[in-house]
Amino acid sequence: MASEHSSVAYYPGCSVEGLAIEYDQSTRAVCKALGIKLLEIPEWSCCGSTPAHSLDPTLSGALAGRNLAIAERMGCAVVMTPCPGCLRSLKGALEIHDSPERRQALLDLMGMPFEGKVRAISVLELLFNALEAGLLTEARVKRPLTDLMIAPYYGCLLTRPPGFAQFDDPENPVSMDRILTTIGATVVDFPFKTECCGATYGVARNPIVTELTGRILDMAARLNAQAVAVACPLCQQNLDLRQSQVDRRWRRSFNLPVVYLPQLVGLALGIAPDELGLDKLVVSADALLSDLQKVSEGI
Amino acid sequence: MEPIHILDLQKTCDEDFIHEVEAASGQQVRKCYQCGNCSATCGFTRFYDYPVNQIMRLVQLGQRDIVLGSRSVWLCASCQGCTTRCPCNIDVASVMESLRVMSRTEKKVSESDIQMFYDEFLRSVKAFGRVFETGLLPVYGLLSRKPFTDMDLAPVVLRKGKLSFFPHRIGKRGEVAGIFKRFEQSAQKDNAGKGGSHGQ
Ligand code: SF4
Ligand code: SF4
């Protein structure tokens, strides 16, 4: 595992260039700290996301496939992306390529050689593999997240559908839980791990998002979580950036920080908060930091 | 929107539709025995017109216009819950996706502003190679006559330095535009071949 991941092609995805910039920062910082070499795919392009799926599956495959083809040329066996939506498109391209009836149409649209030999994984899977391979261990944790109660929220796509995701359990995933406990946090038994946050409807159908996201925040709050951990830029945007809209809809103030998993891992590894983009979160995570401060001073 | 002719379902059953959906999705819609698991799992049921199990039933009954014109096919978020929990192993989300594509080709889209949002998104990908959030959202707002959606979020996004005012043009955006061009050409050929047999 460790050698497979020693050099990984990195597909950031469009959202990390804007609203999810801290996800990119923290992913890169954590990989560096763990000795995982990320090679950004040069001139990577948008995977087409839901809009391309809703127009034509082969078009979606070709837009995503272009990036996989470049990764292949770089000689990488694994492509990692922090965005589960992008992951779905990248895997969709591989699925079409695997199908003898659909392959030629894909290659025709792509207009470049593509052998379909790379594997696409999420940053969660990469970190979980690092854990299993002994790269991420309790011994490497410099600032354990002791006393922090965290709700692990996986969202829809990281483990579903199971045949496609080929990772963790679709009903009760535990990979994030295990990473969080390794870095010292306490994980709440979160029944809404894989409920949908409303996905892309924040703009076009805002009430859908404030309703669904509100349920997730409400459950996390009722279980006394001090933060929600996420591994998806869209989930994070709905839960964090839109939390003020959720507050208005639910007439309450959740004030729950929604933190990217690599940010939490990075903190535990002793990386400075500003290198992890913690100041970019809309709902401030400062309360978590002061808790950590106390803990490390206590040691 | 067409009313359902409850007593006339056989008369309005379009057998071709059933086969087209099965071919496009690669799923046997016939296998659905209406257990309702998909709708029980679907967080969007309350926003749908027809819950997803009813969409499946309407496909079995060949109700082309009702299904393709439904709100449900455009509000589905592809969350994969239904697919994960269908006891018949039907990839229900993929059926919904195929229906979305068909409703577009047959010009029966009920939620035209969502389609518009998607079209703007793809236009940005075609032009720049990547999506450019700042550019995209105001355009959507103007087109859908909902300007300033999310204006309440603008100050915080600006304060956090999260908006880029210039598109990230990638150097090889020609390659991406080429994919779109070949796609448009093949779609034109397909349409000419079919002679517009449906949705007229
Ligand atoms: S879960 Fe499957 S079998 Fe049950 S109603 Fe839905 S599609 Fe039909
Ligand atoms: S994929 Fe669509 S229909 Fe299926 S559960 Fe999710 S939102 Fe509902």
Structural domain boundaries in chain B: 7-105, 112-194
| Ligand 2 site-directed mutation target among B92, B99, B114, most atoms within 8 Å of CB | B92
- Find the closest chain A residue to B148 by CA distance: A203
The per-residue pLDDT string of chain B (200 residues; one tens digit each, 9 = 90 and over) reads 666 666 677 778 999 999 999 999 999 999 999 999 999 999 999 999 999 999 999 999 999 999 999 999 999 999 999 999 999 999 999 999 999 999 999 999 998 888 988 888 898 889 888 887 655 565 566 566 665 567 777 778 777 877 665 667 788 888 999 999 999 998 888 777 654 444 33
Query: Cβ contacts of residue A123 below 8 Å, gap of 6+?
Result: A27, A80, A81, A82, A231, A261, A262
- Is the CB of residue A131 less than 8 Å from the CB of residue A170? no
pLDDT for A182 beyond 50: yes
pLDDT at A204: 78
pLDDT at A289: 83
| Ligand 1 site-directed mutation target among B44, B76, B90, most atoms within 8 Å of CB | B90
Please compute the mean of the pLDDT values over residues A184-192 and round it to a whole number. Answer: 96
Report yes or no on whether pTM surpasses 0.95.
Answer: no
CA distance linking residue B58 with residue A160, whole number of Å: 26
Residue A118 burial (CB < 10 Å; 0-12/13-18/19+)? buried
% of chain A exceeding 90 in pLDDT: 83
pLDDT for A238 beyond 70: yes
**Amino acid present at A79:** V
In chain A, the domains with their CATH numbers are 7-124 (1.20.1050.140), 139-298 (3.40.50.11810)
Q: Is B86 helix (H, G, I), strand (E, B) or coil?
A: coil
pLDDT at B199: 37
Q: How far is CA B110 from CA B104, B106, B117, in A?
A: 10, 12, 14
b or e along B78-95 (b: 16 or more beta carbons within 10 Å of the residue's beta carbon)? bbbbbbbbbebebbbbbb
Two tokens, residue B182:
């070949």
CA A281 centroid distance within chain: 15
Tell me the pLDDT band of A293, cut-offs 50, 70 and 90: low
Which tens digits make up the pLDDT trace of A148-160?
Answer: 999 999 999 999 9
Q: How far is CA A155 from CA A56, A114, A285, B14, in A?
A: 24, 31, 21, 37
Please compute the mean of the pLDDT values over residues A84-89 and round it to a whole number. Answer: 95
Phi/psi region, residue A121 (left: phi>0; alpha: psi -120 to 50; beta: rest), is: beta
Q: A111 to chain B, minimum CA–CA distance in Å?
A: 7
Give the residues surrounding ligand 1 with Cβ less than 6 Å away: B 32-38, 53, 56, 86-88, 90, 92
Tell me the pLDDT band of A89, cut-offs 50, 70 and 90: very high
pLDDT at A127: 97
pLDDT at B177: 93
CA distance linking residue A183 with residue A186, whole number of Å: 9
pLDDT at B11: 78
pLDDT at B196: 45
Which tens digits make up the pLDDT trace of A93-146?
Answer: 999 999 999 999 999 999 999 999 999 999 999 999 999 999 999 999 999 999
Task: Name the residue with the closest Cα to ligand 1, atom 4.
Answer: B35
pLDDT at B200: 33
Note the ipTM here: 0.88
CA distance linking residue B191 with residue B93, whole number of Å: 26
pLDDT for A299 beyond 90: no
The β-bridge partners of A9 are A39, A79
Q: Which of B47, B170, B179 shows the shortest C-beta gap to A110?
A: B179
* Sheet with strand A7-10: strands edge to edge: A37-40, A7-10, A78-81, A119-122
Q: What average pLDDT does chain A have? A: 92
CATH 3.30.1760 fits B7-105, yes or no: no
pLDDT at B3: 63
Which tens digits make up the pLDDT trace of A7-30?
Answer: 899 999 988 888 889 999 999 999
pLDDT for A235 beyond 70: yes
Give the residues surrounding ligand 2 with Cβ less than 6 Å away: B 41-42, 44, 52, 76-82, 92-93, 96
What is the distance in angstroms between the CA of the first residue and the CA of the last residue of chain B?
Answer: 16
Tell me the pLDDT band of A70, cut-offs 50, 70 and 90: very high
Q: How far is CA B156 from CA A210, A288, B37, B167, in A?
A: 18, 21, 40, 20
CA distance linking residue B168 with residue A84, whole number of Å: 21
Residues 1-40 of B with CB under 8 A from A: none
Residue A151's φ and ψ, nearest 5 degrees, are -95, 120
Asked if the Cβ–Cβ distance from B44 to A156 is below 8 Å, we say no
